[in-house]
Amino acid sequence: MWKAIKRLTSFKNFYRFSGKLLPWFGAITLVLFLTGLYWGLVIAPIDYLQKDSYRILYIHVPAAWMSLFVYIVMAASGAIHLVWKTKLSEVIANSCAPIGATFTFLALVTGAIWGQPTWGTWWVWDARLTSELVLLFLYIGYMALHSAIEDRASAARAAAILAIVGLVNIPIIHFSVNWWFTLHQVASISVGKGSSLHPSMYWPLMVMTAAFKFYFATVLMMTARNEILERDQNSNWVREEEKNL
């Protein structure tokens, strides 16, 4: 069992398998983005309160969701590396950090752009906004800590512990609008309660969410493959791959 897991998570197998998936994931990402953006920005009706300014939700909401999802993937990969010492899980965790930081930054910026016409301010120390900013600092802290320690094993262990500890911020972000009085509106979509959005607005949002997920998977594979090549640059299988290019 353990030998099978080690074989499936080897750098060589991941590199070759992900290479076959990348063109498909890239194509699906492009189609979903083009469809979702046109549907949300052009076809979806104007909101009767926020007018056209609400359309930024088709970027803001998926980016905010992905900022949480990517952090969970990063922390889970770090935990797997701590327990089973698999090299691939360390690479996945490292690859998640810059992608998650980008999603978080995008969520904060688009939220500020949306908040100015909606709330009359670019920023307020709201529970949701503040905890999302803390998430950005956690991503940055992960990358800084991993880069600051020269020994690769120690760096991976310290960064993984930081990521796991930072998981406490995820439920705070998610439930902050329910736990405290907050300027940020409550979720329009929730598990078990359905959506308060009209279907003409809801479905393009779902398409954009799928686009962001496929984008994440695509960039994650690309980033991980680059780190794998750097780590195993002197191995025979990398030389074989270079010959086949």
- Give me the mean pLDDT over the 11-19 stretch: 94
- Give me the mean pLDDT over the 14-25 stretch: 96
- Is residue 60 a contact partner of residue 115, using CB atoms and an 8 Å limit? no
pLDDT at 191: 46
Burial code (b: 16+ CB inside 10 Å, e: under 16) for 89-122 equals bbbbbbbbbbbbbbbbbbbbebbbebbeebeeee
Torsion (CA) 65, 66, 70, 73 in degrees, nearest 10: 60
Q: What is the largest CA-CA distance in the chain?
A: 62
- Whether the pLDDT of residue 53 is over 80: the answer is yes
- Give me the mean pLDDT over the 34-42 stretch: 97
Q: What are the residue boundaries of the structural domains of the chain, listed by start? A: 51-181+197-227
Q: What is the mean pLDDT of the chain?
A: 91
pLDDT at 7: 74
| Out of 42-46, 177-181, 192-196, least confident range | 192-196
pLDDT at 195: 67
CA atoms lying within 13 Å on the CB side of residue 77? 22
- Is residue 185 a contact partner of residue 90, using CB atoms and an 8 Å limit? no
- If one compares 126 and 75, the residue with the highest pLDDT of the two is 75
Nearest to 14 by CA among 119, 108, 90, 106: 90
**Tokens 């992960």 sit on residue:** 142
pLDDT at 189: 59
pLDDT at 192: 46
pLDDT at 198: 85
134-156 pLDDT, tens digit each: 999 999 999 999 999 999 999 99
pTM above 0.75, yes or no: yes
- Give me the mean pLDDT over the 19-27 stretch: 97
98-135 pLDDT, tens digit each: 999 999 999 999 999 988 888 888 888 888 999 999 99
pLDDT at 190: 53
* Position 9 confidence tier, pLDDT thresholds 50, 70, 90: confident
- Is residue 81 a contact partner of residue 90, using CB atoms and an 8 Å limit? yes
- Whether the pLDDT of residue 63 is over 90: the answer is yes
193-233 pLDDT, tens digit each: 556 688 999 999 999 999 999 999 999 999 999 999 999 98
